[in-house]
């Protein structure tokens, strides 16, 4: 039909958004339906996501649309985190936040005792201490009975799709982030799990984002009364959805999906499983339509978000103005592990890093914000360089999608540090990519047809690298 309507539910690390995206012959219309906070909960047993509150907000958002002609609904969220369900589908334990320190030291033990290269050759996934693999090992170490009781492991978006449909499956893009999906078989790597002493009886069947549809649970359908809706899981990993929404032309482009994290990468047809890629810790996560998201996690705006929290939620525009007027101080390594955990001492951690490395310490808010943004841009420059050398690609354009596309000084510094033309926008890429992937299924589009539709709407802002003045 001429017009299709898709509900994109996008949960990020600090907020959730629900939008109705209408696809018409002449373009896309995005209507925000519901926006809500996602506030993790600290307990004596660790840091948890508030899944019940998130579910309540999802249903509240859908209720606002009840009775309307909606063609599809789909959920994306951050990666790696999961729920364990017992034989009655009850939650065993809550869903831990990946920033929970329960995994401390576990990745290093696997790397030393089992061997990092041995793991990387099997799946090509970057070593991040919070990958599902290490979270499961921490459960085995501290609460082994949970693994025995568990009948189903569901990643966060799969859990929400299960609550919407009653169907338990794992969507592929997010499954790839566990670090136990085999790169060549495309199936769960049961051998690796067995080698590490982990059970795998609870792993569901894998399905493809944007390639299947499930009916809404009957009680929900009765309440919401959508005439002909289906649940169509998109690329359920938010980064996979964000990459769909890169308004790309040709081959020689890279992207930064810029939010709490900065995911710096490019789209490939095949994984790169070389020693160079391994040494640089690049990941070969999976995208929709059989693509590979060859990328690296950079700590991202998280550092700034935590600084801002420590400054009583100061206004962002005010902070950028102060940064613009501040002097340059030392830059720092944004990917140092000390910046991973939440904490109101984030500015102090930055200052300590600079002191330890004999640099000039940023003291005012403006100096700190300037140092954060310039250090991020410098790291993007390094990753882009490694990206070109490990893939052999010669890049021409760098797309920035997500909230960071709003931050002009960051876009300009990124152009300068990478030497690439930066194309900034869309800022709500994840929502758009989620909706477009549903539309691929509903309308029978290919990925490139979805991107053509996107380009009817999105005109990115251009930042040209500054010529160095000597």
Indicate which residues carry an active-site annotation: 238
* Under rule CB under 6 A, residue 98 binds ligand LFR: yes
Those residues whose C-beta lies under 8 Å from the C-beta of residue 318, and which sit 6 or more positions away, are none
Min dist CB 289 to ligand LFR, Å, is 18
Site for ligand LFR in 62-91 (CB under 6 A): 78-80
Min dist CB 261 to ligand LFR, Å, is 4
Helix intervals (H) in 150-274: 156-165, 172-175, 190-195, 218-224, 238-244
Of the residues 297, 414, 416, 434, which one makes contact with ligand LFR according to CB under 6 A: 297
* Under rule CB under 6 A, residue 417 binds ligand LFR: no
> Looking at 49-57, 182-190, 253-261, 333-341, which segment touches ligand LFR (CB under 6 A)?
253-261
* Under rule CB under 6 A, residue 238 binds ligand LFR: yes
CA dihedral 283, 286, 287, 290 (to 10 degrees): 130
Residue 148 phi, psi (nearest 5) = -75, -40
Using the minimum distance from each CB to ligand LFR, give the nearer residue, 229 or 244: 244
> Looking at 108-116, 163-171, 231-239, 456-464, which segment touches ligand LFR (CB under 6 A)?
231-239
> Looking at 18-26, 226-234, 254-262, 304-312, which segment touches ligand LFR (CB under 6 A)?
254-262
Contact map string, positions 12 to 41, toward ligand LFR, x by CB under 6 A: ------------------------------
Residue 107 phi, psi (nearest 5) = -60, -45
In DSSP terms, which residues pair with 171 in a beta bridge?
207
Count of residues interacting with ligand LFR (CB under 6 A): 12
Using the minimum distance from each CB to ligand LFR, give the nearer residue, 75 or 323: 75
Of the residues 236, 239, 329, 412, which one makes contact with ligand LFR according to CB under 6 A: 239
Please write down the HEC assignment for all residues of 352-370: HHHHHCCCCCCCCHHHHHH
Using the minimum distance from each CB to ligand LFR, give the nearer residue, 80 or 377: 80
> Looking at 110-118, 236-244, 359-367, 376-384, which segment touches ligand LFR (CB under 6 A)?
236-244
Distance of CA 179 to the CA centre of its chain: 15
> Looking at 191-199, 256-264, 447-455, 462-470, which segment touches ligand LFR (CB under 6 A)?
256-264
Measured between its terminal Cα atoms, the distance across the chain in Å is: 59
* Under rule CB under 6 A, residue 431 binds ligand LFR: no
**Alpha carbon distance 403, 260 (integer Å):** 9
Compute CA distances 232 → 89, 163, 238, 459, whole Å.
22, 14, 15, 28
Min dist CB 420 to ligand LFR, Å, is 21
Of the residues 75, 183, 263, 334, which one makes contact with ligand LFR according to CB under 6 A: 263
Please write down the HEC assignment for all residues of 249-275: CCCCEEEEEECCCEEEEEEECCCCCCH
* Under rule CB under 6 A, residue 261 binds ligand LFR: yes
Using the minimum distance from each CB to ligand LFR, give the nearer residue, 263 or 292: 263
Those residues whose C-beta lies under 8 Å from the C-beta of residue 224, and which sit 6 or more positions away, are 62, 63, 65, 66, 67, 216
- Please, are residues 365 and 311 in contact by the beta-carbon 8 Å criterion? yes
- Sites of contact with ligand LFR (CB under 6 A): 78-80, 98, 237-239, 259-261, 263, 297
């Amino acid at each position: 039909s001429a017009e299709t309507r898709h509900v994109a539910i996008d949960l990020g690390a600090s907020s959730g958004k629900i939008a109705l995206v209408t696809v018409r012959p002449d373009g896309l219309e995005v209507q925000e339906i519901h926006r809500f906070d996602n506030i993790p909960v600290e307990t004596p047993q660790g840091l948890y996501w508030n899944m019940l509150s998130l579910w309540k907000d999802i249903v509240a958002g859908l209720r606002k649309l009840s009775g309307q002609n909606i063609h599809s609904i789909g959920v994306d969220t951050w990666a790696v985190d999961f729920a364990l369900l017992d034989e009655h589908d009850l939650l065993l334990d809550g869903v831990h936040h990946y920033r929970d320190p329960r995994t401390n030291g576990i990745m290093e033990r696997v790397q030393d005792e089992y061997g990092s290269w041995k793991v990387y050759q099997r799946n090509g996934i970057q070593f991040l201490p919070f990958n599902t693999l290490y979270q499961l090992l921490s459960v085995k170490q501290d609460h082994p009975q949970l693994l025995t009781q568990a009948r189903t492991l569901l990643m966060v978006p799969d859990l929400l799709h299960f609550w919407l449909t009653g169907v338990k499956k794992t969507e592929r893009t997010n499954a790839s982030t566990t670090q136990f999906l085999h790169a060549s078989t495309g199936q769960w790597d049961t051998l690796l799990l067995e080698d590490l002493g982990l059970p795998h009886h609870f792993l569901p069947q894998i399905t493809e984002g944007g390639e299947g549809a499930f009916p809404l649970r009957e009680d929900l359908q009765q309440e919401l009364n959508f005439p002909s809706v289906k649940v169509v899981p998109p690329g359920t990993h938010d980064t996979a959805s964000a990459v769909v929404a890169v308004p790309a032309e040709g081959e020689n482009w890279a992207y930064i999906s810029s939010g709490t994290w900065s995911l710096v990468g490019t789209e490939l047809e095949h994984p790169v499983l070389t020693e160079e890629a391994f040494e640089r810790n690049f990941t070969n996560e999976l995208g929709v339509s059989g693509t590979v998201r060859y990328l690296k996690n950079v700590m991202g705006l998280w550092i700034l978000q935590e600084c801002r929290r420590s400054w009583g939620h100061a206004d962002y525009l005010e902070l950028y103005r102060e940064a613009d007027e501040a002097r340059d101080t030392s830059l720092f390594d944004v990917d140092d592990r000390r910046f991973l955990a939440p904490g109101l001492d984030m500015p102090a951690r930055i200052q300590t890093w600079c002191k330890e490395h004999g640099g000039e310490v940023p003291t005012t808010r403006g100096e700190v914000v300037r140092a954060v943004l310039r250090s991020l841009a410098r790291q993007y420059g390094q990753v882009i360089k490694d990206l070109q050398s490990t893939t052999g690609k010669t890049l021409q354009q760098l797309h920035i999608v997500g909230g960071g596309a709003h931050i002009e000084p960051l876009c300009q510094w990124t152009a300068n540090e990478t030497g690439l033309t930066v194309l900034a926008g869309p800022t709500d890429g994840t929502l758009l990519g989620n909706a477009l992937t549903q539309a691929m299924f509903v309308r029978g589009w290919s990925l490139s047809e979805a991107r053509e539709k996107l380009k009817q709407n999105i005109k990115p802002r251009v930042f040209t690298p500054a010529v160095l003045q000597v």
